[in-house]
Structure 1
Amino acid sequence: MSFAQPLWLWLAPLALLPFLSALHHGNAYSWHVLLPGDALSRCLHLAIQVTGALAILLLVAGLAGLFRGQYAVERTGHGASLVLLLDRSRSMDDSFAGRSPAGGEESKSRAAVRFLEAFIGSRPHDRIGVAAFSTSPLFVLPLSANREAAAAAVRASALPGLAQTHIAKGLAMALSYFPDDPAGGNRGIVLVSDGAAVIDPDSEALLRRSFQQWHPHVYWIFLRTAGNPGLFDIPPPSEDTPQARPERYLHLFFESLGIPYKAYQAENPEAVRQAIADIDRAEKAPLRYQEIHPRQDLRGLCYGLAAWALLALLMVKRLEIRL
């Protein structure tokens, strides 16, 4: 608890006034011994004084701007800390047929966004972060339990794409989310991309160390364009090079890391839905996380309680009988 305008607290001693002055009219008696002892009256008198003091304190607290600061509540559930790593290259704006969407067609990016939004909404206990990549990595949203923010971050990825695909920088960005993540449970990266690029040896060595340090689960939803080579196709020896088949070599790189990894080759929106549903079923481990509650203004509560206290005093005053 804290106060936005603490100078008003100098008025708090006014709460002693009900104990220093009578709140009711007195009656004179020739000899007080004639009056029998009345414990109930003494209790009511004290209650009236306390109510008056409480009303003053509540009014002062309201004027001082009482509020409860941001706080965290530890929760437990079933889920994971997941980073959604989204491809923002221009090719993601094309349909699965490899052309600009026409008629009832849907671009690869919009199909992915549609199912990822449903995925986010169905997992109330996950901590979800969002990153994107094209020529450079884009930090979009840190790991958070805020579903609305995660959904908005994913929707932003459906905007027109940028330039090329630099997958190494994107993976490094996704891995950078985990050092600051205090939650237990599984950590995972969901890569949504329709292509890859050659990873240079230095970047590959750095990525390998980071993957082995944090040991995340990796899911690659490969949005395959019609006519393009697939992840699992074995090319002729003359074409089996990282430059000719970067997607295949990225797939082999993930397999060589010794971490839980699964690739999905999606050739239409329904295949994207099935891949995301499979990830949803897989990531159900116990998870401990913190739920952040924002600052809460309590002035309205103070004024409301003060009004009830004053109303009670007014009713007592109306019931007073003068002799």
Structure 2
Amino acid sequence: MSNLAFETPWALAGLLLMLIPWFRSGIQATSYSWLEMLPNDAVSQVLAILLRLIGMLAIAATVLGLSGLYLKEQKIERIGHGAHIVLLLDRSNSMDNTFAGKTPSGSEQSKSTAARHLLTEFVDHRQHDRIGIAEYSTSPLFVMPLTENKQAIHAAIDATSAAALAYTNISKGLSLGLSIFDQQPLTGSRIILLVSDGAAVIDPDSEVALRILFKQQQVRLYWLFLRTENSPGIFAEPEDSRDDNAQSMPERYLHLFFSSLNIPYQAYEAENPDAMQKAIADINRLEQLPLHYQESIPKKDLTGLCYEWLAVLLLFLLGLKLCEVRM
């Protein structure tokens, strides 16, 4: 009963009308000169009581329908296999280019389009995950908190089809992605899936702050690096030692920074959509730990059910009325 509520609770005062059938049965009275001549009719007595009870229930169904009866939203604990995942998406200008570093033409896909299609498939295969989404370019952009609502997640991923924004500020993006885990229960795996085609220099103060956040949130990090054709990869080493610095090779140094965090970390380098698909499949296979999560059961309107019962009760009353014998 604690899960029931009413849109217009004042209408419940109409339940007092349920007393009417006990005083007025609706059965036509017939006079007899001597009642002792009538045999004892147990069936009629039962029907008389039943008639009153059905009348009370019909009034109750009418009043509950008018009061807007509904079942409150509920949370049910489920146990599945999955993770809490934050998709952190790069929205810099270069993501709107192809893997060849050109503007898409004809049937060519941009890196952002390929990522969007594969992430949609990834979400479809993750039945019990709670997924949040954040983006970053010059500034971070919060898109969606952790949720199990697949329809909302698909809509958020589709929204990334808008034009890219500007440059890459990955430190702010990571900070925002990590903050999505705040106030969330620590059950199953916590994952940040970073999808990016480049990197930027992280200043020392931001590095210190990120180290603390990664340790506090107990996060696993996957980096899906969408490498542009003929560009240096995250595992490349410079031929000239003078180029071995964060300004010249930001992707390499970001990878080194992630590797030094002492957290579970895996980097994938993809030069085409097929390589991306293999990386996504690998992540999908690895992250299948037991997960406790709360499933939301939305509010349910019960007024229609009340009126359905009212219709059935009225038909029953009509049937009893037609059975009445007139003298």
Q: Same fold (TM over 0.5)?
A: yes
| Counterpart pick for 2:221 among 218, 223, 247 | 218
SS of equivalent to 2:276: helix
* Residues 217 and 117 of structure 1: CA distance in aligned 2, closer, same or farther (over 3 Å): same
Q: 2:311 aligns with which of 302, 307, 314?
A: 307
C-alpha RMSD of matched pairs (Å): 1.5
Q: Percent identity?
A: 50
CA distances 1:151-198 after superposition (whole Å, capped 9, x unpaired): 111111122100000000000011001122226111100000000111
TM-score, normalising length from structure 2?
Answer: 0.95
Which residue matches 2:247? 243
Does the CA-based 8 Å contact 1:183-1:287 persist in structure 2?
A: no
Pick one of 253, 267, 270 that aligns with 2:271.
267
Kindly indicate whether the alpha-carbon contact (under 8 Å) linking 2:73 and 2:298 is maintained by their aligned counterparts in 1.
Answer: yes
Which residue of 202, 211, 234 corresponds with 1:208? 211
SS of the residue corresponding to residue 57 of structure 1 reads helix
Which runs of structure 2 are paired with 1:1-323 in the superposition (5 Å)? Answer: 1-29=4-32, 30-32=34-36, 35-36=39-40, 38=42, 40-182=43-185, 184-235=187-238, 236-323=240-327
1:162 is aligned with what amino acid?
A: L
Q: CA deviation at 1:200?
A: 0.7
Partners of 1:294 and 1:302 in 2: CA distance: 19
Asked whether the 8 Å contact 2:25–2:51 carries over to 1, the reply is no
Task: Indicate if the aligned counterparts of 1:183 and 1:289 stay in contact, CA closer than 8 A.
Answer: no
Distance 2:118 2:45 in 1: 69
Whole-angstrom CA distance in 2 between matches of 1:95 and 1:260: 30
CA shift for structure 1 position 301: 1.4
- TM-superposed CA distance for 1:26, in Å, is 3.4
| SS of structure 1 residue aligned to 2:161 | coil
- 2-structure distance, mates of 1:254, 1:273: 22
Q: TM-score, normalised by structure 1?
A: 0.96
CA distance in 2, matches of 1:44, 1:165: 80
- Between the aligned partners of 2:12 and 2:314, the Cα distance in structure 1 is 20
Q: Tell me, what secondary structure is at the counterpart of 1:188?
A: strand
Instruction: List per-residue Cα deviations over 1:80-138 (Å, max 9, x = no partner).
Output: 00000000000000000001012221000000000100111121211000000000100
User: How many angstroms apart in 2 are the aligned matches of 1:182 and 1:57?
Assistant: 43
How far did residue 293 of structure 1 move? Answer: 2.3
Please give the alpha-carbon distance, in whole angstroms, between the structure 1 residues aligned to 2:46 and 2:192.
66
The residue matched to 2:256 in structure 1 has which SS? helix
In 1, the alpha carbon distance for the partners of 2:5 and 2:262 equals 51
How far, CA to CA, are the matches of 1:28 and 1:177 in structure 2? 80
CA contact (8 A) 1:183 1:288 kept: no
Specify every segment of 5 or more residues in structure 1 that has no aligned partner in the other structure, as ranges: none
Range with greater deviation from structure 2 (292-301 or 137-146): 292-301
Displacement of 1:28 in angstroms is: 4.2
Query: 1: distance between equivalents of 2:167 and 2:61?
Result: 61
Contact residue 168 and residue 199 of structure 1 kept, 8 A: yes
Give the SS at the match of 1:242.
coil
Is the CA contact 2:90–2:195 (under 8 Å) kept in the aligned structure 1?
yes
CA offsets per residue over residues 242-271 of structure 1, 9 Å max, x none? Answer: 111111111111111111111010000011
Q: Distance in 2 between matches of 1:243 and 1:228?
A: 15
Cα deviation per residue 1:285-309 (whole Å; 9 max; x = unaligned)?
Answer: 1111111122222211111111111
> How far did residue 33 of structure 1 move?
7.6
